[in-house]
Amino acid sequence: MGWLQRLFGMEKPAEAQVNPAPVETAPEGGEIAPERVGLNGEYDQSGLAKRVALAFDQDSNLADEERLWVAQTGGTVVLKGEVTDQGTLDQMVSIAQGVSGCTNVDTSQVTVG
C-alpha cells in the first residue's frame, strides 16, 4: 500500500503531479495558496500533505513507513509517528522540502527507531 492510499484512502488520480500549476480559483476568489493546490491543480484544503504523500510514493528509494503520518498546518508539513532510522527521516524531509508550498517541515513528533 502506498502513502496516498494509506493516509488519504485514495489511489493516485490520473495526471496527478507533485507540483501542478493551479487550474481554478480559490473558493473565496483569487489564486489558490500554494499549500492548498491539490494533486491536479484544483483547490484542496489538504493539498500540500497529499502532494508530499505523492512525492513519497514516487521515490523508489523510500518505502512506506507504516507508522508515520503526514499532515499540514499552512505551509508547514508535519510528520508524526515513527521511522526506522535517521537516514529515512532526513530523506523524507528533503523530499517534502521540494514540494511547492512547503515552507517548513516539522519533525518534532517523530521518533526514530
* CB atoms closer than 10 angstroms to residue 50: 25
Q: How confident is the model at residue 101 (pLDDT cuts 50, 70, 90)?
A: very high
The pLDDT value given to residue 25: 85
Q: Which three cell numbers stand for residue 40?
A: 491536479
Q: Compute the distance between CA of residue 34 and CA of residue 11 in angstroms, rounded to an integer.
A: 22
pLDDT in tens, 26-40: 888 889 999 999 999
pLDDT exceeds cutoff 80 at 64:
no
Segments making up each domain of the chain, as ranges: 3-112
Q: Compute the distance between CA of residue 43 and CA of residue 23 in angstroms, rounded to an integer.
A: 8
Q: What is the pTM of this model?
A: 0.94
pLDDT in tens, 71-92: 999 999 999 999 999 999 999 9
Look at the block and give the residue holding cell 485514495. Answer: 10
- Degrees, nearest 5: CA angle 38-26-28: 150
Helix (H, G, I), strand (E, B), or coil: what is residue 78?
strand
The pLDDT value given to residue 52: 98
